[in-house]
Structure 1
Amino acid sequence: MLASLIAAVVLTSTAVITLATLPGSLRGAVQNRVELDVRRVASDARTTQLRSMLPTSPRVHLLQVVSREGTVLAASHNLRGKPPITHLKLAKPETIYTTEARLSGDPEVIESDAKYLVMAMESQTPYGLVTVYGAASLADVDRALGWLYAVIFLGIPLVLVIVGSITWTVVGQALSPVERIRAELAEITGHDLSRRVPVPDNGDEITQLAATTNHTLERLERSVETQRRFVADASHELRSPITALRTQLEVATAYPDDTDWPSTGARALMSADRLTDIIDELLMLARLDAGAVTDRHVVDACRLAEEQERRRAGGAVSIVTDAPGTAPVFGSPIQLDRLLTNLLDNATRHASARIDLQVAVDEWDKTVVIKVTDDGPGIAPEYRDCVFERFTRLPEARVKDKDGSGLGLALSREIALAHQGSLTISDHFPGAQFVTRLPLYVEGYSPV
């Protein structure tokens, strides 16, 4: 419809301009020739150079010089011996008068069914007052205009039908892959995201659309699978402390006289604390997944490390901090503190006697490097990626800490990524070394 509408506007505009200018242009060309001959003959008559046989220009068919008494003084070769072609009453001499009329006369000279453009001018000559007549047939002009009207009024609708049909067919064929993609997408539901849309081999934008759609479906499938696993694992992790808490309270309620209430309250409080920690980590992960932006400002990573060391002083595992100078980063103090807390908690569970906490500035790539190293058994290379998955706990971790949730390292990596940084495990012996890199804060520039 749009293509037909555009074609209709273009063709109609062209037709209107043509109809407004072409008929007048064709008649104007004929009129100029006739007027030129009439004025030439009148000039010859005034200077007594009038010849009995008048030459005519191309397409000027008839020329006559008629005296006031009606005598033909001169004529073109086809009007020799013929009466005047017309009698016009002219108001003023030396003035050209124009009309269109059907002329009568010899059929071999004058076309009876054709209109003629007739021009006349009176002029004072040595022969007296004479009238010069010139006439040209408009048959060719009328035929040309007839063809023009036929082309415009019959051809334009035909062209519009052809344009509409071709456009409909071509666009339909071009968009048929889109319809197949749409139909396939309509069949895909949240219960089965393994299906993919067909990818045409045209190599055009539709091919790119189909390929991008399939990539999006792949990411969506992975995301949904991760979400399902996350919900299942979260339900499992939350069920354990809730069950333990419920069991403790049910036993205490059933045997109130035999219950050590301070001990029972302490254990219930520990279960509640574990539930609180899991929920806090889940909420922070959910905010990070949603792309929520917390209040951020300049934070000194060295001061965070020193605060962690003071907070953990007197613990079973000693923490040795190496954080000279300052290491400014732009970020959320709460999230960055949580990152260090999780890394140190993980190191404390696996360390034998010592944890090294090192903060330094890498001037070469403008990053702040935070290294947390323990002297425990370490992490095998094949497990260094999976430990950052949510609710993933290695067998050794389950033995050492049954109350862990498997969210700490996953949350730490998400915090690092949210701050345009990274968290990896590097080779180290003995133990494991977690390396966090965050963009160094430069005055007047915020990297996140």
Structure 2
Amino acid sequence: MRLSSMEKLDHVARTRFPPLRWIGRQLASVRKRTTIAATVVVGMVLMAAFIGVVITLRAALTRNVVNTAKNEADDIVLLVRDGHLPNPLPIPRGDLAAQVVTSNGTVVAYSPNLKGAKALRSPKYVPSQGIVQTEDSVRANRLAINGNVDLHTVFVADRVQVPTFLVGVLSRSKSSNPSHLITGSTGKPTTFDVYTIASLSSVDASVSALNREFLIIYPIILAVVAISTWILSRRALAPVDQIRRDVEEITALNLSNRVFQPDGEDEIARLAVTMNSMLARLDASAEQQKQFIADASHELKSPLSALRASLEVGLLHSESTDWHQTANIALRESERMQRLIEDLLTLAKAEARVQAVQVTVDLDELCREEIHRIRRTHPGINIDMSRVSAVRLLGDPEQIRSIIRNLIENAVRYAKTTTAVSASTDGHLATFTVADDGPGIPVERRDAVFERFTRLDPARSRLQGGSGLGLPIVRSLVELLEGTVTIGTSELGGACFRVQLPVLTRDRVPSDAANGPIPMKEKV
């Protein structure tokens, strides 16, 4: 059922009227709804088919009766034309009756079952082309079938003219043939109307018999359909019940469990595959969170331990402790903790898709500022910025600065002697690359370096101040700015990080960009 239908059933299930509330609760089951729907559909199809069969059967049987009545009328017309009309008229079947009526309405011949009956119809109401029609008429009250008066008949009227006139009707004698019409020729035509009636009781009997059989078979078929649908739907939905039970047992403590996956490639099997894939993603996410918490705790524990150790040693040997050196150690470790906490906050904001402001940013100016800062802290590394061209972006300057800083610091940390920085644009995308002459990054590890707290050389990275969060921050911020970041091999022999971001174009400049920063809503 559609969602709107489900809402209506839910409304019925919560109504105050007890019968409707009970019906709503009963229809809440998919199995029951499927059984009812299948039974109703099959019942409607069977009923429509039965009605069509009845209509077709009645039409065919009625057509046969009409043909019989017309044939009998034609035979009597021939008798009239021949001038020898027996009375009573010979009728081959008991469900037929006939009359021959003159133009003034006098009955001159009739079948035995219409003896004494008046003319079935006045001749003035019979058109010259005759009549063939089915009717319910009391005029046929003398037509008895098996002792029952039949009022549902087929009436046929034929008009015939013969150049004769009625002379008389001879009565039957013991030794002679049945009475017959004696005519004589005068040259003046005489008009007769031949009426035949055929009973439709046989048609009604056949249709009634079919109705009785249908009334017996119809509920049996519906019961078979309902029971079969109930059993089949129970078997078909059994995996769904198992999946539901499995999902109820899964908690945050056992995300490694999986739901039952039936064989085949039907909808339920695909549902189970999808749910297992979702559970696998949730399990991986939970494990990443656990690992992130463990790694963050470990990273914060190291500077705290160093700070505490230096202070405890100083207190134990206060007279001989160089407090100036101890203060420098404490300051260095506190700066390390502050940098780690800032990186964690930056990463959390980037992954939450939070973009504070959007202003016009000169990428080349930010590159020069960060390169000058890093040159003071790493005087032994040559940083080449000769390929930095003027590029303007629309974004958060602090987020773009964080991308530049982390990539250059990462390159300087692993470079032997040289790091090269370049920035350019093709009018649509700004390309920012950072290359070094370090050991490079193996192809199979290039995706792993963007994971949190990942170090290709843990000992060297921690010694030089790396926290393992710089590259994950870069990827998250680049994706937030609708860009891409890739890793390749530089011309210097080391790693080359390539970042592409949309440049500032007219269709991307807000109308008030020149007036200051533009607050942005959180992206979801």
TM-score (norm 2): 0.63
1:117 aligns with 2:153: yes
Confirm or deny: 8 A CA contact 1:391 1:405 kept in the other structure.
yes
1:84 aligns with 2:115: yes
Residues 269/2 of structure 1: CA separation in 2 closer, same or farther (3 Å cut)? farther
Displacement of 1:424 in angstroms is 1.9
* One-letter code aligned to 1:234: A
Q: Which residue of 2 aligns with 1:322?
A: 386
Confirm or deny: 8 A CA contact 2:436 2:490 kept in the other structure.
no
Displacement of 1:18 in angstroms is 7.1
2:498 to 436, 443, 446: 436
Displacement of 1:136 in angstroms is 1.3
2:460 to 382, 385, 396: 396
Displacement of 1:344 in angstroms is 1.9
Q: CA-to-partner distance for each residue in 1:346-381, whole Å, 9 max, x for gaps?
A: 234444554321224589xx8644332345566677
1:336 to 385, 400, 424: 400
Residues 72/383 of structure 1: CA separation in 2 closer, same or farther (3 Å cut)? closer
Q: 3-state DSSP class of the match of 1:93?
A: helix
How far apart, CA to CA, are the structure 2 residues paired with 1:247 and 1:50?
Answer: 144
Confirm or deny: 8 A CA contact 2:388 2:422 kept in the other structure.
no
Q: Which residue of 1 aligns with 2:227?
A: 165
How far apart, CA to CA, are the structure 2 residues paired with 1:444 and 1:23?
Answer: 79
Q: Which residue of 2 aligns with 1:356?
A: 420
Summarize the alignment of residues 111-260 of structure 1 with structure 2, pairs less than 5 Å apart: 111-113=146-148, 115=150, 117=153, 119=155, 132-241=194-303
Aligned-residue CA RMSD (Å): 5.1
Q: 3-state DSSP class of the match of 1:200?
A: coil
Q: Which residue of 1 aligns with 2:512?
A: none
2:124 to 56, 75, 93: 93
Residues 10/440 of structure 1: CA separation in 2 closer, same or farther (3 Å cut)? same
Confirm or deny: 8 A CA contact 1:319 1:357 kept in the other structure.
yes
1:6 aligns with 2:36: no
* One-letter code aligned to 1:2: A
Q: 3-state DSSP class of the match of 1:135?
A: strand
213-222 or 245-254: bigger deviation: 245-254
Identity of aligned residues (%): 29
Q: Which residue of 1 aligns with 2:173?
A: none
How far apart, CA to CA, are the structure 1 residues paired with 2:333 and 2:443?
Answer: 33
* One-letter code aligned to 2:247: L
Q: CA-to-partner distance for each residue in 1:99-139, whole Å, 9 max, x for gaps?
A: 3568668x9xx532473516487989865997754221223
How far apart, CA to CA, are the structure 1 residues paired with 2:416 and 2:154?
Answer: 122
Confirm or deny: 8 A CA contact 2:436 2:492 kept in the other structure.
no
Confirm or deny: 8 A CA contact 1:37 1:134 kept in the other structure.
no
Confirm or deny: 8 A CA contact 1:413 1:423 kept in the other structure.
no
Q: CA-to-partner distance for each residue in 1:161-219, whole Å, 9 max, x for gaps?
A: 22222323333333333333333333333222333334433233333333333333322
How far apart, CA to CA, are the structure 2 residues paired with 1:2 and 1:179?
Answer: 21
Q: Which residue of 2 aligns with 1:423?
A: 486
Confirm or deny: 8 A CA contact 1:85 1:103 kept in the other structure.
no
Residues 333/49 of structure 1: CA separation in 2 closer, same or farther (3 Å cut)? farther
Confirm or deny: 8 A CA contact 1:388 1:409 kept in the other structure.
yes
Give the length in aligned residue pairs.
Answer: 433
How far apart, CA to CA, are the structure 2 residues paired with 1:51 and 1:263?
Answer: 151
* One-letter code aligned to 1:4: T
Confirm or deny: 8 A CA contact 1:416 1:436 kept in the other structure.
no
How far apart, CA to CA, are the structure 2 residues paired with 1:383 and 1:123?
Answer: 108
Runs of 5+ unmatched residues, structure 2? 1-35, 167-189, 509-522
121-130 or 329-338: bigger deviation: 121-130
Residues 50/411 of structure 1: CA separation in 2 closer, same or farther (3 Å cut)? farther
How far apart, CA to CA, are the structure 2 residues paired with 1:51 and 1:322?
Answer: 132
Q: 3-state DSSP class of the match of 2:383?
A: strand
Q: 3-state DSSP class of the match of 1:65?
A: strand
Displacement of 1:229 in angstroms is 0.4
Q: CA-to-partner distance for each residue in 1:394-428, whole Å, 9 max, x for gaps?
A: 11122233xx4221122123333443412325266
How far apart, CA to CA, are the structure 1 residues paired with 2:340 and 2:474?
Answer: 14
Q: 3-state DSSP class of the match of 1:422?
A: strand
How far apart, CA to CA, are the structure 2 residues paired with 1:293 and 1:92?
Answer: 101
Summarize the alignment of residues 56-67 of structure 1 with structure 2, pairs less than 5 Å apart: 61-66=96-101
Residues 18/331 of structure 1: CA separation in 2 closer, same or farther (3 Å cut)? farther
Displacement of 1:277 in angstroms is 3.1
Confirm or deny: 8 A CA contact 1:306 1:323 kept in the other structure.
no
Displacement of 1:64 in angstroms is 1.9
Q: CA-to-partner distance for each residue in 1:134-162, whole Å, 9 max, x for gaps?
A: 22122321122213322443333222222
Residues 238/438 of structure 1: CA separation in 2 closer, same or farther (3 Å cut)? same
Confirm or deny: 8 A CA contact 1:94 1:121 kept in the other structure.
no
318-327 or 1-10: bigger deviation: 318-327
TM-score (norm 1): 0.72
Runs of 5+ unmatched residues, structure 1? none
Confirm or deny: 8 A CA contact 2:436 2:496 kept in the other structure.
no
250-259 or 228-237: bigger deviation: 250-259
Confirm or deny: 8 A CA contact 2:433 2:497 kept in the other structure.
yes
Displacement of 1:342 in angstroms is 1.0
